[in-house]
A = this chain, B = another copy of it.
Amino acid sequence: LRVGDETLAAARVSRVRSTRQSQAIEAVLGRQDGFRTVQQLHGALQEDGIPVGLTTVYRYLNVLADAGRADVVHGADGEARFRLCGTGEDSAAPTDDHHHHVVCRVCGRSAEVSAPEIEAWAQAVAAAAGFTDVTHTVEVFGLCSEHAG
């Protein structure tokens, strides 16, 4: 019997308490149509007249990411960018959802891309090189139609 564990795990994944700040963060995040840097989100919040601490933004964003409700992309500069992901209503398989993105390097707008072929490819080449327990990161950057040329 490990009810305790499950409770703990649940608490870590889904927020126990709903607050003005968490709602605001989620709202702003949902309003964006692409990946945004933490600072950008924090700035947007302030422009909305909703003061939220930078710390809180970081913390809540990580909660969302852990819960699989947000995607994270680490650009080449190592700066983290977040985006709401999937619907998140049904938490059937929160963390197991695996996918990649095409991100506009000007505006951050993004589109999810399914890549069954890539998954297979990654496994194959890794195995061929004698590697096991394979994971991978794939991010595609480009210019969206609005910022082309």
A residues apposed to B, CB below 8 Å:
74, 76, 78-80, 102, 104, 111, 113, 115, 117-118, 121-122, 125-126, 129-145, 148-149
Contacts and interface: CB of A to CB of B under 8 A. Distances in A.
Contacts of A125: 102, 113, 115, 140
- Identical copies in the complex: 2
A115 B104 CA distance: 23
26 contacts: A74-B74, A78-B79, A102-B125, A102-B126, A104-B131, A111-B129, A113-B129, A117-B121, A118-B118, A122-B140, A125-B140, A130-B144, A130-B145, A131-B140, A132-B142, A132-B145, A132-B148, A133-B148, A134-B140, A134-B142, A135-B142, A136-B138, A136-B139, A136-B141, A137-B139, A137-B141
